[in-house]
Amino acid sequence: MQSLEIVPRLLPEVRSGSKRHTIRWRERSIVPGLMRYVNAEDASDTLSVWVTKVETMPLDAVANYLGKTAEWPDAVLLQGMREHYPEMGSDAQWNENSR
């Protein structure tokens, strides 16, 4: 089964259904179908989800795609994602996975 690590603070939102997207950069390819999220700090803590689609897009399209343009102007999104991906530039292509 395909899997992705996820930071522990996001797992409650995924479990409740309020978080239905994940944005990834330069990680393994994900395809529609069953996927397991693995807590990045506790590999025994997992959650299986069904990926319905995967989109690849430039950074400046992500906020608009998710309806968060006001909350995530490009600089804010880039700054937040650099916490996870320090080498990321504004020209990054993203994989956005929906469930």
Q: Is the pLDDT of residue 15 over 80?
A: yes
Q: What angle do CA 79, 68, 87 make, to 5 degrees?
A: 25
Distances (CA, A) of 54 to 3, 23, 75, 79, 87: 14, 10, 24, 23, 23
pTM: 0.76
Model confidence band, residue 96 (pLDDT cutoffs 50, 70, 90) = low
Model confidence band, residue 94 (pLDDT cutoffs 50, 70, 90) = low
Domain total in the chain:
1
**CATH code where residue 10 lies:** 3.10.400.10
- Say which residue, 91 or 50, is predicted with more confidence: 50
For residue 68, the enclosing domain spans 2-98
